[in-house]
Structure 1
Amino acid sequence: MIARLHATSFPKPACAAATWCSPTARRRIPSSRSRCPNVQRLFTKHCSARKARLMRASRVPLAPKPAIINGAETDSPLRTLQLPRTLLTPQLHEVEMALVDPKLKGVTPEYVRERLSLFASEMLAGLSSLKAQAPKSLLLTEMDVSISNPAGVCPTHMLAVYSSRPTTTTTSPRKVTLFPTHQLVLAAHGANLPALPASSATHTSRTSATVAVVPLCLPAPAAFPLLQSYLYTKNAENLSNVLFPSSTSPLDKVALQRHMGLIHGLWADACALGVVDEACGCC
């Protein structure tokens, strides 16, 4: 579910305006005394043509690049992707459960994570059976949803995930993806997770409920579904198979770039949220 929101609804990262060249980078033109008139005319003609090409190129409008949502790739040409050779292991601190819920004061986060795994199937049933109508212009603080499986555990929040990258123009709409979630699952694993408002999940009937909507800025929104799925299932083998699929034939450039981008995006999101999980770090 994607809601197109105006860029002014979210904070904009500052970015410097692009420039074609600087005065210090321009080619020095030797004195005319050191060249004959023919060479001088050819050199002047060459510089004029080069300047005209740059002026034409600078007037080409920059079209916004299509956003990649939930891992769906668009038919765009291969772009240069700069990634580090190694992904550093961030220095993480453990989750303080008393900050998540005062009632959990004195309870270790390891115990909470262990107990959550016992209810994984019920919580996943609540996520998969949730349906909602995404807003088209304005993101509300609460959202009415319908639940097709009343046996599942109703999510407590709806995350409005958007990219931390700045939009191409100030008037470009920002892509936002809605993800239902259970607060305790994310809070018990993410030491850097921003404080979520108190859950307002209320059942108006057996098949409908109202949940809070919380904006969440991440480096790679397309990789968040994979990360959240792992936090629920804790299936490191499935995560490893997605990140490192076995293939008898080498991947082409587009598939390889997409795959590397997913790995880097998962790592970036985990670092941003401060995910405390040894198996996830090993993958």
Structure 2
Amino acid sequence: MVLQVSNRTRFADSENTPPIRLPTTTTKVRNGIQAASRRRRARVSGSYPQYAVKLAKKQQQRTKTKAVSKYPPPSVDVEMHDVSASGSVQTKSVLLPRYLSRPEFREVSRETLRAVDPELTDSNTHPDYIREGLEHFGPAMLRVLSSVQAQPVTNVLPKELSIIINDLSSDLPTHMLAVYARQSTSSAAVKRRVTLFPTHNVVLAANCASLPTLPASIPVSASDMQNSPASINVPIVPLCIPSPETFPQLSTFLYTKRADHLLASLLPSSSLPLSLLSASPLPSTGSVKQYATSLATAHTPQTLLAHAMSVNGLWRNVCALGVFDERLWDVMDIAWEVLLGALGVATGKGVAL
């Protein structure tokens, strides 16, 4: 097993860090979520039953239009040309799904949310309220994560880890995810790579319908810390997902909900035309073809395929964790259409867009 800490964390010596005090107040994020819940309920004239009916209809429509087919989706056969060491050209085919199928919609578990914080799951608090509050505080919470420093980890994964936090402007992380991929039997002898990511349990619980049970974490409020940097212990949670390398993109989106940033990270060029971002819900076929053609002329087929595989990995993570954010799915659909179109132009095998 090879352990490494993600680029959000840095190694540090916590020997001289001040002790922590137990929390005496509720967290800023929880207060913000509860305030967002009250404001949203007020906007629907205090009629939660009517709002619940609207949500049910919306979720039913999601299931009807976005549900995965019972049959395998059609595939696109892309031919790639590689030059061997002897200089000969070798051709191999790569099968990619034509569409990124969506699993049937499932709401997050109220029991999982209740385990995080019982005060967030009263009778009038729908998970949408919690996600709305988190969307406001998420960027600040992400900045806290980026300030985390972690002690080096050996080949044995401990149950908890001591971390240093330099930014106390928002809620402190509650867990450390040990993210890894399932190994095939043929690679059993190869050391497994595990990457550590600090996280907040409420962000995962509010967005991931298939989230495994997280161990209890003693809540520590940033307002209870005397000085910065601060040292706390957090439990480590092993998390097996299909594509560990794309987990940072998914995690960042869950905190920021910035569709434009996510789309830019999935495509070879960070310079995106406005037509890809301003259209609702999806851009026109013409704008997709135009941008795909520009990417095909600026990048090699190998580069385009690498980005397509990243989108595919992100999609598999989203399905595995049960994330049903519409903006996230729209971004993946746009990136997939663009990259398939670009691959079709670059390899001479047209893809019907």
Larger-Rg structure: 1
Aligned match of 2:249: 226
Q: CA deviation at 1:97?
A: 2.3
Contact 1:192–1:272 (CA under 8 A) maintained in structure 2? yes
Aligned match of 2:317: 269
Q: CA deviation at 1:240?
A: 2.0
Cα separation, partners in 2 of 1:99 and 1:120, compared to 1, 3 Å: closer
Q: CA deviation at 1:98?
A: 3.3
Matches within 5 A, 1:1-283: 3=3, 81-101=94-114, 103=118, 104-106=121-123, 107-166=125-184, 168-200=186-218, 202=220, 206=227, 207-244=230-267, 245=269, 246=272, 249-283=297-331
Contact 1:190–1:273 (CA under 8 A) maintained in structure 2? yes
Q: CA deviation at 1:170?
A: 3.0
Q: CA deviation at 1:150?
A: 2.5
Q: CA deviation at 1:119?
A: 1.3
Q: Deviations over 1:50-86 (max 9, x none)?
A: xxxxxxxxxxxxxxxxxxxxxxxxxxx9997542121
Q: Deviations over 1:22-63 (max 9, x none)?
A: xxxxxxxxxxxxxxxxxxxxxxxxxxxxxxxxxxxxxxxxxx
Instruction: Return the letter of the residue paired with 2:207.
Output: H
* Structure 2 Cα separation of the partners of residues 167 and 127 of structure 1: 35
Cα RMSD (Å): 2.4
| TM superposition score normalised by structure 1 | 0.68
Q: Which runs of 5+ in 2 are unaligned?
A: 5-84, 273-293, 332-353
Equivalent position SS for 1:136: coil
Instruction: Return the letter of the residue paired with 1:200.
Output: I
Q: CA deviation at 1:220?
A: 0.4
Alignment size in residue pairs: 210
Contact 1:200–1:212 (CA under 8 A) maintained in structure 2? no
Instruction: Return the letter of the residue paired with 1:230.
Output: F
Overall identity of the aligned pairs, in %: 39
Contact 1:201–1:211 (CA under 8 A) maintained in structure 2? no
Cα separation, partners in 2 of 1:80 and 1:218, compared to 1, 3 Å: farther
Higher helix share: 2
Aligned match of 1:22: none
Contact 2:178–2:237 (CA under 8 A) maintained in structure 1? yes
* Structure 1 Cα separation of the partners of residues 139 and 243 of structure 2: 26
Equivalent position SS for 2:132: helix
Contact 1:160–1:179 (CA under 8 A) maintained in structure 2? yes
Contact 1:126–1:152 (CA under 8 A) maintained in structure 2? yes
* Structure 1 Cα separation of the partners of residues 253 and 94 of structure 2: 26
Q: CA deviation at 1:210?
A: 0.7
Q: Which runs of 5+ in 1 are unaligned?
A: 5-76
Q: Deviations over 1:234-259 (max 9, x none)?
A: 11122222234455533213211210
Q: CA deviation at 1:205?
A: 6.8
Q: CA deviation at 1:101?
A: 1.3
Contact 1:202–1:210 (CA under 8 A) maintained in structure 2? no
Q: Deviations over 1:123-174 (max 9, x none)?
A: 0121010010231210001000011122242111100000124264433210
Instruction: Return the letter of the residue paired with 1:266.
Output: L
* Structure 2 Cα separation of the partners of residues 80 and 215 of structure 1: 35
* Structure 1 Cα separation of the partners of residues 99 and 199 of structure 2: 31
Equivalent position SS for 2:96: coil
| TM superposition score normalised by structure 2 | 0.55
Q: CA deviation at 1:112?
A: 0.2
* Structure 2 Cα separation of the partners of residues 100 and 162 of structure 1: 24
* Structure 2 Cα separation of the partners of residues 158 and 218 of structure 1: 15
**Moved beyond 6 Å, runs of 4+:** 77-80
